Amino acid sequence: MKLATILCLGALLLSACGAGEPDPPALVPEQLERYDANVIELVEQRMAEIRSRPDDPAAYAELAYAYEANGIWPAARNAYAEAVRRQPASENWRFHLAVSLREAGDPESSKRLLRELAADHPNLAHVQQRLGEALAESGELEAAATAYRKVIELLPGKPEGYLGLGEVRLLQGDYAAARDALERAAALDPAYRASRYALGLAYRGLGRLDEAQRELALGLDAQTRYLADPLRQEIQRYAVNLPALRNRAASMLYSGRPDLSAQILEQVLAQQPGNTADLNNLAIAYMRLGRLDEARRRLEEARGLAPEKFSTWLNLSSLAAREGDFEAAAAHAREAIRAAPGMARPQVMLAMAVAELDQLEDAAAALEQAAALDARDPQIHGMLAEVYVQLGRPDRAEEQFKAVLALLPESLTAVLNLGRLYLEQGRLDEAEAMSARALELAPRNQNIAAFDRRVREQRGREGAEK
């Protein structure tokens, strides 16, 4: 990072905070008393650390973590600037300084710093994503597209790069290119609402109004999801106000730590009882921990507070399935469908429950309805294909496996299952094509090697018979 940039960003700060000297005013937000008592206590603790370690850059960074975790962006900017001024080589602190600059209302300084970071560290996907966003916001659309293509290069299996590229093409009015990128993003993560909403905009631009309406509805209340960076979990440890705690709990659940998510949500509900979203998320954490009785208690509480919430019925269905009560799972899924008839997920839950009851025709009907509601979810098409295989309807199974591959061409499972279907039907040319495609995707996979041997053996038997 250029020294002039660091000095400019840190110019408003005092250079040191020695023992007995007053705290630099820029490091403490004005009217600190307005904040949550837990935030005030945390800031006081961090400032005490700075007074005891005035020459330690990490002390300033830890204060910045506290501010960022609780959404106090101007103070976070100032604390990061002081940490970076003292230790310019830290790309992680520089990155979070850039984030804080944008959130504090200085997008130009943020963009300048992100450019420098990307030049110094071109293979950091989280930097490229933020840079793409900054460039798009300032109208540098082709430069933004380049940044998002770098994200795709670094993380081809994640939707964030495709979403960013698609949004740039929307801004350029190239709806066909936007559609291509955004369909890919939606296929990689059908539950990511931001991709679905942007895809709806692309469809609307192309005049595909029915599909646009569906995707826009699936993307309601969308929020951008940023790629993780090395400091994210450390910063989240400093969350103490309710919004920050909820964000941290969601992050812990998403990253496979339901134990920590449950601890945080228990704390949140102790401070603010009766929030049905918190109750549902806590129940999900309990289910993942195997604490099913506690999950049921929380879901029953949520149902009593708001019986119209489809998410509670959906989670009750999931709980019943975990307990092996598939009749109850199906009944709860039907309640979820009544509460949210336009959502695909309750139909999927119903299909999973009735399939366990050997009601395969009902499972197929539910999955067909789910596919009609969300045609861009490859998981739905894959499940429907498997049901049609079990029903002995290979033509419909083939259609659904092909639908998966249209959305995710590199889906090894779909390639292999379609190849097996062809082999069972004696369609050896097509089975060989699928085997070759699978070997190209995963040349060292033992299951694919075994399937390839079966195809070659069958070809050899046919040759011998001739």
Lowest mean pLDDT among 32-41, 128-137, 305-314, 330-339: 32-41
Q: What percent of the chain is predicted at pLDDT more than 90?
A: 86
Selected from 3.90.1660.10, 2.130.10.10, 1.25.40.10, 1.10.357.10, the CATH number assigned to the domain covering 3-218 reads 1.25.40.10
Average pLDDT over residues 89-108: 97
| 91-129 exposure pattern, b = at least 16 Cβ within 10 A, e = fewer | bbbbbbbbbbbbbbebbebbbbbbbbbbeeeeebbbbbb
| 402-440 exposure pattern, b = at least 16 Cβ within 10 A, e = fewer | ebbbebbeebeebbbbbbbbbbeeebbebbbbbbebbbe
**Is the CB of residue 145 less than 8 Å from the CB of residue 133?**
no
How many other C-beta atoms lie within 10 A of the C-beta of residue 273? 11
Give the pLDDT score at 131.
98
Give the pLDDT score at 388.
97
How many other C-beta atoms lie within 10 A of the C-beta of residue 211? 18
Q: Which amino acid is at 193?
A: R
Give the pLDDT score at 217.
87
Q: What percent of the chain is predicted at pLDDT more than 70?
A: 94
pLDDT in tens, 361-412: 999 999 999 999 999 999 999 999 999 999 999 999 999 999 999 999 989 9
The interaxial angle of helices 107-120 and 125-137, nearest 10 deg, is 140
pLDDT in tens, 249-273: 998 988 889 999 999 999 999 999 9
pLDDT in tens, 100-115: 999 999 999 999 999 9
Give the pLDDT score at 426.
93
Give phi and psi for 86, each to the nearest 5.
-85, -25
Give the pLDDT score at 3.
33
Average pLDDT over residues 321-340: 97
Give the pLDDT score at 466.
64
And the tokens for 103?
């959130």
Residue 309 CA to residue 199 CA, distance in Å, equals 27
Average pLDDT over residues 147-161: 97
Q: What is the dihedral of CA 25, 31, 35, 40, to 10 degrees?
A: 40
Give the pLDDT score at 185.
97
395: Cβ–Cβ under 8 A, 6 or more apart, which residues?
none
**Is the CB of residue 401 less than 8 Å from the CB of residue 385?**
yes
pLDDT in tens, 233-244: 999 999 999 999
**pLDDT band (50, 70, 90) for residue 414:** very high
- DSSP H helices in 374-445: 378-390, 394-407, 412-424, 428-441
Give the pLDDT score at 14.
39
Give the rounded distance of the alpha carbon of 2 from its chain centre: 34
**In the chain, which segments carry CATH 1.25.40.10?**
3-218
Check residue 325 and report its DSSP letter.
-
Give the pLDDT score at 178.
97
Give the pLDDT score at 22.
45
CATH of domain 410-466: 1.25.40
Mean pLDDT of the chain: 92
Give the pLDDT score at 159.
97
Give the pLDDT score at 5.
38
The answer to whether residue 10 scores a pLDDT higher than 70 is no
Average pLDDT over residues 54-65: 96
The answer to whether residue 342 scores a pLDDT higher than 50 is yes
Residue 253 CA to residue 245 CA, distance in Å, equals 12
pLDDT in tens, 293-304: 999 999 999 999
Average pLDDT over residues 186-209: 94
The answer to whether residue 172 scores a pLDDT higher than 60 is yes
Give the pLDDT score at 6.
34
